[in-house]
Structures are given as structure tokens and as C-alpha cells.
Amino acid sequence: MPTIIMGKLASKLDGSIRGKAMAFLQKLGTDDTANGLHVEPIQQSADPRVRTGRVDDSWRAVMFRLDGDGETHYVIHGIWPHDDAIAVAQRVRLKVNPINGLPQIEEAIATPAPPAAVPTPAAPAVATLLPSLGHRRDDLVATLGIPEAIADEAMQAADEDAVLALAERHVGWVGSILVDLAAGDPAEAIAERMQLAKAAPDRDADADVLESLKRPAAGLQYAFIEDQEELRRVIERGDFGAWRIFLHPEQRRYVERRYNGPFRLSGGAGTGKTVVLIHRARGLARQHPDRRIVLTTFTTNLADAIGDGLTQLDPRISQTKTLGQPGVYVAGVDALAAAVLRDAGAGLAAAMQDVLGVERAAPLARTANTRWRETIESTGTTLPTQLANETFLANEYAHVVLPHKIHDEAGYLRARRPGRGVALDRAKRAAVWALIAAYRAQSRIDGSLDFTEAAAVAAAHLAQQGERPADHVLVDEGQDLSPSHWQLLRALVAEGADDLFIAEDSHQRIYGTRVVPGRYGISIVGRSQRLTLNYRTTAQNLRYGMSLLEGGEYVDLEEEPEATGYRSARRGPAPTVQAVDSLTDELQAVAGHVRAVVDRGAEPDTVAVLVPDRFHRDRVVTALTEHGVDARAVDRDRPPPGRVPVLTMHRAKGTEFSTVILVVGKPSTNELSRLEMLDSTERADAELRARSLRYVAATRARDELVVVTRR
Ligand SMILES: Nc1ncnc2c1ncn2[C@@H]1O[C@H](COP(=O)(O)OP(=O)(O)OP(=O)(O)O)[C@@H](O)[C@H]1O
């Protein structure tokens, strides 16, 4: 049976022809001599391997036939109306680029070749981007293998926008390299990242071309289709499904490589960290169907999205609902802790003792999140407000008391408090402990555990039992996890090959305080890499998003300054920023922007409004409804099809929309007084998180971003 190798260009099909293309390719993949396919060579074609095939009366596929590995292969170049297809088929040629070993389509140019002694183009008079970044034409041509004509155009492109426009015209490795050059990466670094390697000159036999198609960077543009199901997925989702098929060579490396211990993959918003995790989980599950793979993230909503992504990628992968069973178990990290506690049933006494210092039965409920406030109010503490507030206490509890299993005042007086910032003398420590003891006593009375306690008890239980319910743990949104979460993840899986794979982005920490997993038995040293190409956001929106982070000091999970230097391969309009004076004006502005986008013909569910809090969310939904827009507040459920979703910025994490209307709002007086009472270190951290939240929100926009601010 012939193998189909799908080109990215061919997967971008008009809806009207998709069904027929699918039928054609299915038939071709079964028997290329089947009736009606008309797989034929073309007279006077530049490449003797070129074939056309009949998709229907008026459409033809253009393909290259390669014989090698004991089979026939068809590289699908594209599908066009009959006459266009014939013209394309006559002029295209598939070859191996000798400089970088990658497959390359050349087009024979209809115009006559220039005379032999054409002078090389004079150096451009005006400043152009690539030379100003130190790139030389020779780097592009001789180091990276960019075809000369494209290299000339690139060297003359005035600015980033012009280079990106050129990159957009060249799908695959050429476009990807141009984006990296525009970002200022040295040619050698690009060659390494793309895993380029010279090929023997003039080796263009079928076997050589097949070999080149298997190179990692060829995966940006070509995919070997394994079966009909995969074919359907490529064709049906077109560009939206590209992540499932056309991985960047770096992404592929992190998907496939095996690591001897915990590995950390960082990367800015939209660089495909979640995509790598999903592919990696699938790869492990396919290779080892008997293994127990846990795929976890910060919230249940994010876990739902990852589970959906895994189903879309490969519905054959078994997603188990039971922790400890073979297959992929996808859950938010707190749900994971709850599952461990549930499975332990009555057997939790020892773990409770270990963490809380008292033997308690299995938890009956979740501690109310007002408990810290109530404890402060009811104990009449003498502590200053910088310490007697729920932010400080919850952090102190989560970062010092729980992970170090402190049971009493004596233990707390001795405790080390690395990274906590706020200094505490002995008297203050004693007073803080009194509040913690009161908090614990009340939770004991009502039989409740809070989220961090639950994770700590679950971790202690697994550690005591020596049970390891997972063989591989893959973690998304690592920047948001608490110390107890890390202890739980460490306890889920034995130390060893591919035990933990952690995706994170310190710029997107919007929940807890910064944590160093190395302090909880997760040693990453020497096993960290970064993704830099943003697939989601246009260069214009990315620039705006990054500007929101300026001035903030971000530190990663290994205590190094967080890097920037992200780039995007896509272009679009500059974000619109509108400042308004009041809530009424704000609602009016939002409704106006949404109406304008929907009236332009956008599907309502591709336009989202992101707001600071639930109060805003409900006001915006009402305002939109009054303006005749079918809008819906999104909370725990998935965004509704056919309606404009309105989400808080926190809820928007992990989502993306073609257009985002971002309502920045103004901090409420409550919020301001809450910030005011914090110690300076915690206030600085809260401000950093607020910046990150706006960055997260702004980077949810794929194409168009409108920001409504308050004066
Ligand atoms: N190789 C690829 N080809 C095409 N699209 C891709 C590729 N990799 C990722 N994408 C797309 O980029 C977008 C962002 O991917 P993903 O959600 O994995 O990024 P992320 O780094 O986890 O983002 P965030 O941190 O903002 O949540 C998605 O729409 C995804 O489909």
C-alpha cells in the first residue's frame, strides 16, 4: 500500500473540496492504480517524479512519487483547479538541499534565465534588518541553505514586518529560519536548533529524498500519514490542526527525547509547551501501553482542555479515569491529590499525623477559603496587619509549615524560611504560630483540609506506603504549583528515566508564590530547555504582551532570571488600546468592539471578552445581551459554541481566541486596601502576578487584540 506524505500546503484546503480530497487520498493510500484516480505523469515536467491525480471533475492533486523502503510514497504537494494544477505540476521539482539536507521544492521559472554575467546586487542603500543584525548573505545561503533568490529578498527586507511577510510566503523550514534570523539568532544557533546537516551534493535519488523527508526539520512541512484516521485529522482541521501534525524540530525533540530524571521545558505564552506535553504523553502511551502516565496541570479546566487535546491528537490513546491504571490519567493537580486521598480511604491516619501532627480521619470537606480571615478576626492577634492577613498566612503555611511538616510552636521557631522575604523575630513567630494553630484546630473540628494540606497529606501517604501510582508524570503550568504539589508529584513516581517532565513559564505565574522544585526532591539541574517560537500570537500582539512585563523581575524554577527573546511567525494588525473614564463607558466600548467584529462576519465563539473578575464578567454579559449580542459567562464549563464567551483573565489561562477584547479595569477599593496591608515583598509579588495576569490575557489573542483601559 502506498504511503502518503502530506505537505502542509496541501492540508490547507477550502471546505468545499475537503471531502473529495479526503476520499481521493484514502483511495490513493489503499491502491494507487484504483479506478478513477488517474495517477499520471505530466509531459515536460521539471521533475519526472511529479504526478497528478483526479480529485473530481475539476480539481487535481499534484504529487511526487518516490519509490524507496520497499514501497511507493506520494508526497502531496497541493490540490488545485485542473489548469492551475497542470501548470504547477510542470514547474515544480522536489530535491534535497545539499547545505541542510532538507527537502526543497524548486519552481522552474517561466521567464528566461538572466545572462551569465549579472553583477551581484549592490549593497542596499537603506538600512535593512538582517544586515543590521549582523547577518551576511553567505550565512543564509552557505550555512543555512536558504535558496539564493529568497536570501537576496530577505537581506533587502527593510524591517521585521517585511521579513515576516517573506516568511509567511515560504511554509516550512525556510519560513521558520527567516523568523529566527529576524529575531537576531546567529546562523550557527539556528542550524543547531533546526538540526541541519549537509547532504551529499547531487544526491536526489528517491531514497535520498525520502531520507530528507524524515529529517526533524522536514516535519515542519511534511507528515508521514500513518492511517486513515490521521489523514482525516490533517484534512479536517487544516491550519487549526497543524499542531497535531507539523511539529517544529525542537518540539519534536522534546516530544521524543528520553531523559534520565526530571526535565524542564520553559517557554513564553503560545510557544507550544502544552502541545509538546500532549504529544509526549501520546508517544509514551503508544510505546508503553502498560505504563501509567499522569498528565497534570494547575486547574481542572486546564486539565479538561489537555484531555480534549489528547483525544483530538489520538483518540486511540486510552485515557484512564483511575489513578494507578495503565493509560493516561489527566487531572488538575488538586484533583490528583483528592484521588490519592480517596483511594487511601481510611488509611490516612499516619499521613495526617506526619503532616499535621495529629491523627485525623479522612477529610470530610474542603476548608472554606474564608478560614484565614475568620481565624484572624476571632483570635484577636497582636500582629501587625502586614502579617495578620490571609495572603501572608496562607503563604507561610504553604511554603514553610506544610512542606517541612511542622507540628508545633517549637518546630516553627526553629524553621528555616528560605525565600520568604518577610523577617520574623521570635515573638512574631510565636504569634504567627498561634494563628496557624487556631486555623488547624478549626479545620480539625469540621474535618476539613485545604488544597495545600490535601496535597501534602497525599504526598506523605504515598511516600509512607512506598506506592508509586505513576511511571511518568507530565506537568503543565509548573510555575503555579505550591511546595505540597511538588512533593505530591515527586511522590507519585519513582526517581528514574522520564520520571517528571515539567512545562512552565515564570512570566505566567498568576496564582501562588514562586517555588524552587529543587527544594522538594526534584533536581532539574542540567536538564532545562526553552521554546522561543510563539505559534499563537501575531508579532504585533506578542510585542504588546511582552511590553506588559517590562520592569518586572522574573525568576525561573531554578532561580535564574527568566529569559525573553520570543518571536512570532505571524503578523496582524497592531493592538487597539482605548482608554475610558467610567464603567458605563467601558461596557459601551466593549459592546461596540464586539459588535464590530461580529458584524464583520466573525463567528461569535471566536471573539472573547476577558475581564478582571466575576463582577465585571456578569456586567459585560448583561451589557452585551442588551446590545443584541449572544454572550455567555464562562466559569467551570467549556466556552459555549456559537456565543461570545466572557471570561475572567484567570479562567482564560490555557484558552485562545481569534479576537480578544481585554478589559483591564481598575482595582477596587477593597483590592487596593488588601494590597496596602501587605508587607513590601508580598506586595511586590502581588504586583508581579497582576502584570503576569495581563500578559496571560493579552497573549490569548491569535489575531486581533483590543485593550480597554480605565483612566
Ligand atoms: N507545531 C505547531 N504547528 C502549528 N501550531 C502550533 C504548533 N505548536 C503549537 N501550535 C499552536 O500554538 C498555540 C499555542 O500552543 P500551546 O497552547 O501548546 O502553547 P503553550 O506554550 O502551552 O501556551 P500558554 O503557555 O500560553 O498556555 C496553539 O494554538 C497550538 O495549536
Tens of pLDDT, residue by residue over 255-272, are: 999 999 999 999 999 999
Check residue 244 and give its pLDDT: 83
Check residue 657 and give its pLDDT: 95
The grid cell for 392 is: 501572608
Cα(270) to ligand 1 centroid in Å equals 5
Cα(246) to ligand 1 centroid in Å equals 12
Q: Residue 229: CB partners within 8 Å, gap ≥ 6?
A: 315, 316
552 or 354: which leads in pLDDT: 354
Helix (H) or strand (E) holding 534: strand 533-538
Measured from the Cα of 242, ligand 1's closest atom is: 4
**Tens digit of each residue's pLDDT (9 = 90 or more) over 586-639:** 999 999 999 999 999 999 999 999 999 999 999 999 999 999 999 999 998 888
Question: Of all protein residues, whose CA lies closest to atom 26 belonging to ligand 1?
Answer: 269
Question: Of all protein residues, whose CA lies closest to atom 27 belonging to ligand 1?
Answer: 654
Q: What is the distance between the terminal CA atoms of the chain, rounded to a whole angstrom?
A: 66
pLDDT > 60? residue 119: no
Cα(533) to ligand 1 centroid in Å equals 9
Check residue 226 and give its pLDDT: 81
Check residue 239 and give its pLDDT: 62
Check residue 478 and give its pLDDT: 96
Cα(277) to ligand 1 centroid in Å equals 11
**Tens digit of each residue's pLDDT (9 = 90 or more) over 534-561:** 999 999 999 999 999 988 888 888 878 7
Check residue 125 and give its pLDDT: 54
∠ Cα 645 648 650 (to 5°): 125
Check residue 110 and give its pLDDT: 54
Cα(656) to ligand 1 centroid in Å equals 9
∠ Cα 207 88 30 (to 5°): 50
Residue that is written with C-alpha cell 504588546 in the block: 544
Ligand 1 pocket test target in 308, 535, 606, 660 with most atoms within 8 Å of CB = 535
CA atoms within 13 A on the CB side of 613: 8
With H, G, I as helix, E, B as strand and everything else as coil, classify residue 57.
Answer: coil
Measured from the Cα of 275, ligand 1's closest atom is: 18
- Tally of residues, the chain: 711
The DSSP secondary structure of 88-138, one letter per residue, reads HHHHEEEEE-TTT--EEEEE--SSPPPPTTPPPPPPPSS--HHHHTT--HH
The grid cell for 252 is: 519534536
Q: Say how far apart CA 465 and CA 457 lie, in whole Å.
A: 12
pLDDT > 80? residue 111: no
Check residue 102 and give its pLDDT: 96
The answer to the question of whether 296 is labelled as a binding residue is no
Ligand 1 pocket test target in 264, 275, 567, 702 with most atoms within 8 Å of CB = 275
The answer to the question of whether 327 is labelled as a binding residue is no
The answer to the question of whether 270 is labelled as a binding residue is yes
Q: Residue 696: CB partners within 8 Å, gap ≥ 6?
A: 269, 508, 510, 649, 652, 653
Ligand 1 pocket test target in 304, 476, 530, 536 with most atoms within 8 Å of CB = 536
pLDDT > 50? residue 113: no
The answer to the question of whether 421 is labelled as a binding residue is no
Measured from the Cα of 702, ligand 1's closest atom is: 29
- Ligand 1, pocket residues at CB < 6 Å: 242-243, 246-248, 251, 267, 269-275, 505, 508, 535-536, 654, 656, 699
pLDDT > 70? residue 87: yes
**Tens digit of each residue's pLDDT (9 = 90 or more) over 269-312:** 999 999 999 999 999 999 999 999 999 999 999 999 999 999 99
Measured from the Cα of 653, ligand 1's closest atom is: 27
Cα(701) to ligand 1 centroid in Å equals 12
Ligand 1 pocket test target in 168, 251, 274 with most atoms within 8 Å of CB = 274
Q: Say how far apart CA 317 and CA 640 lie, in whole Å.
A: 26
Going by C-alpha positions, the residue among 354, 353, 352, 355 that lies closest to residue 363 is 352
Q: Say how far apart CA 642 and CA 297 lie, in whole Å.
A: 28
Cα(574) to ligand 1 centroid in Å equals 21
Are 158 and 165 within 8 A, CB to CB? no
Cα(539) to ligand 1 centroid in Å equals 15
Backbone φ and ψ for 696, nearest 5 degrees, come out as -55, -45
The answer to the question of whether 33 is labelled as a binding residue is no
Check residue 17 and give its pLDDT: 87
Please determine, for the modelled complex, whether the ipTM score is greater than 0.95.
Answer: yes
Q: Say how far apart CA 701 and CA 234 lie, in whole Å.
A: 23
**Tens digit of each residue's pLDDT (9 = 90 or more) over 121-167:** 555 556 799 999 999 999 999 999 999 999 999 999 999 999 999 99
Are 534 and 567 within 8 A, CB to CB? yes
pLDDT > 80? residue 238: no
Q: Say how far apart CA 249 and CA 272 lie, in whole Å.
A: 12
Q: How many CB atoms lie within 10 A of CB 452?
A: 24
Least confident window among 7-11, 52-56, 188-192: 7-11
Check residue 120 and give its pLDDT: 54
* Global confidence as pTM: 0.91
Check residue 556 and give its pLDDT: 81
Question: Of all protein residues, whose CA lies closest to atom 25 belonging to ligand 1?
Answer: 269
The answer to the question of whether 172 is labelled as a binding residue is no
**Tens digit of each residue's pLDDT (9 = 90 or more) over 387-439:** 999 999 999 999 999 999 999 999 999 999 988 888 899 999 999 999 999 99
The grid cell for 390 is: 490571609
